[in-house]
Amino acid sequence: MITNILFTKGYERGYLPKTDSVMIQPIFATANLAIRREALHEVGLFDGQYQTGEDVEWGIRLAKTKWELFFEPKALIHHKHRTTLGALLKQWFRYGYYHPYIFKKHTSKSIKIFLPTHKGMGWSSVQFSTLLGFPLPFYALIFLTPFHMLHLLFLAIVCSLFFKAYNALMFFALGWFLVWLFFCGRLTFRSWISSKKSRWIAYTLLRYLLNWAYVLGALWGGLKIGVFYIEATREQTPPV
């Protein structure tokens, strides 16, 4: 995900801190957002190119101004959710589909790789704008989360079995296990203990399918506008 959508759990009442990153900024989804008229006039209206993600792009522009976001946990929002799996998957596909446009609009041609952390806004990054002294002719944004690492591990297993590179497979599997344990293992174990097993399995499967819809939507939407985009995913705990 380009910006960190604010979830109420773990946040306290107050202003949200801005970051030095262009793309990683706090936002509120428009489903739970009230905007001052003066701020809207200064920041501008939503970009009409979007069917989804317009609040994300608007939040990036807001972060460049004096205006700030304030979180009020007592505010109640009644939101209509999707009622079928197909509708939910389509919704998340569309969420990812328009994010590459935001990236292309607010950055220059480069390769940006984001890794999850437990500090600040939750991401550290590295950027490459040149290759062998020449400017890169394309846009690429890659988020490496445990979800992506899991599938890279699966790909490594297939390749290792094909090429009989068992030592490389062992080191890769060990590295993936450490990544999983550090970033989401503690939360997953806690969820297993505190929730019913059937509920945990159902949530995990649903989260997996939604992540795939999100990633494929962003990849397809990015390729159509000349951006290689590997979308971020969220390894969340199921509701208790």
Averaged pLDDT in 10-residue chunks for the chain of 240 residues: 45 80 78 86 86 84 90 79 87 91 88 75 80 87 84 74 64 62 51 57 80 94 94 59
Rounded Cα gap, residues 25 and 67, in angstroms:
13
| Total domains in the fold of the chain | 2
User: Of the candidates 80, 104, 123, which is a domain's last residue?
Assistant: 80
- Same domain for 38 and 95, yes or no, is no
Q: What is the pLDDT of residue 190?
A: 52
- Same domain for 55 and 156, yes or no, is no
Q: Residue 75 sits in which domain range?
A: 1-80
Compute, in degrees rounded to 10, the torsion defined by CA atoms 7, 8, 10, 11: 100
Identify the CA nearest to 219 among candidates 125, 48, 103: 103
- Same domain for 235 and 146, yes or no, is yes
* Cα radius of gyration (the chain): 19
- Same domain for 57 and 153, yes or no, is no
Q: Are 54 and 177 in contact (CB under 8 A)?
A: no
Q: Are 230 and 139 in contact (CB under 8 A)?
A: no
- Same domain for 157 and 226, yes or no, is yes
Rounded Cα gap, residues 86 and 147, in angstroms:
21
Q: What is the pLDDT of residue 121?
A: 53
Q: What is the pLDDT of residue 46?
A: 87
